[in-house]
Structure 1
């Protein structure tokens, strides 16, 4: 059996959206693909509002399993999902890519975070179906 495709969720700082996506990818789709996240720059800690809400909503403690990392730390990736970082979007070679076009909720209120997390969950389920249909396992 070949290994599962590797999906990288990337944005510039790897602190909020891409971290949420990595956590939700592991939580919702680990049977179909492996999830990673990274950025072109790193931050000392993951966005604390995102950490708190992911604990609250899913019981996931992102700080236990995840940290901000650079693209160069990733293994070879099959699928790249950019979070929506306009001009500075990092480039990674891959077989398939998509841009989720999500605004960064950093510095905004909790409602914005919840909206972003819900959007990521929805897109994750769609990606899971896409990978099931288009990638050999």
Structure 2
């Protein structure tokens, strides 16, 4: 069975989109990848898009999605990034909270280290799922 991972942050415009972009790129068809936000923004953070593009990953066509109970139910692993108690919890799911700075409003030189930390954590997650 193909494992599924849901990345959740408040606006689904930066951290969760970068994490989903990395996992899609690194895992290919081996993992189903979703991302959502408790209060989705109107569009992705353009600096997050630029930071990912520097590594050859295009997330520009993605759009912030609202977090649904069904999305959590359908996921094997739920990674939250600062959404607190807004994420529904179901027994038998694996939950992790990644404490990462929010890239919103930051210049690209401050977003790159956040991006790189997300990549490191996604690589570790992929190793665990394999």
Q: TM-score range, shorter-chain basis? A: 0.7 to 0.9
* Structure 1, gaps ≥5 residues long: 133-137
* Structure 2 Cα separation of the partners of residues 102 and 131 of structure 1: 21
Query: 2:4 corresponds to which residue?
Result: 6
Alignment partner of 1:112 out of 110, 113, 121: 110
Match of 1:63 in 2: 60
* Structure 2 gap segments, 5+ residues each: none
Normalising by the residue count of structure 1, what TM-score does the alignment of the two structures yield? 0.83
Following superposition, the deviation at residue 89 of structure 1 comes to: 4.8
Tell me the CA shift for residue 71 of structure 1.
Answer: 1.3
- TM-score, L = length of structure 2: 0.87
Aligned alpha-carbon RMSD (Å): 1.8
- Equivalent positions of 1:11-22 (< 5 A) are 11-22=9-20
Structure 1 residues 78, 125: CA separation in 2 closer, same or farther (over 3 Å shift)? same
Question: Helix, strand or coil for the counterpart of 2:47?
Answer: helix
Residue 88 of structure 2 corresponds to 91
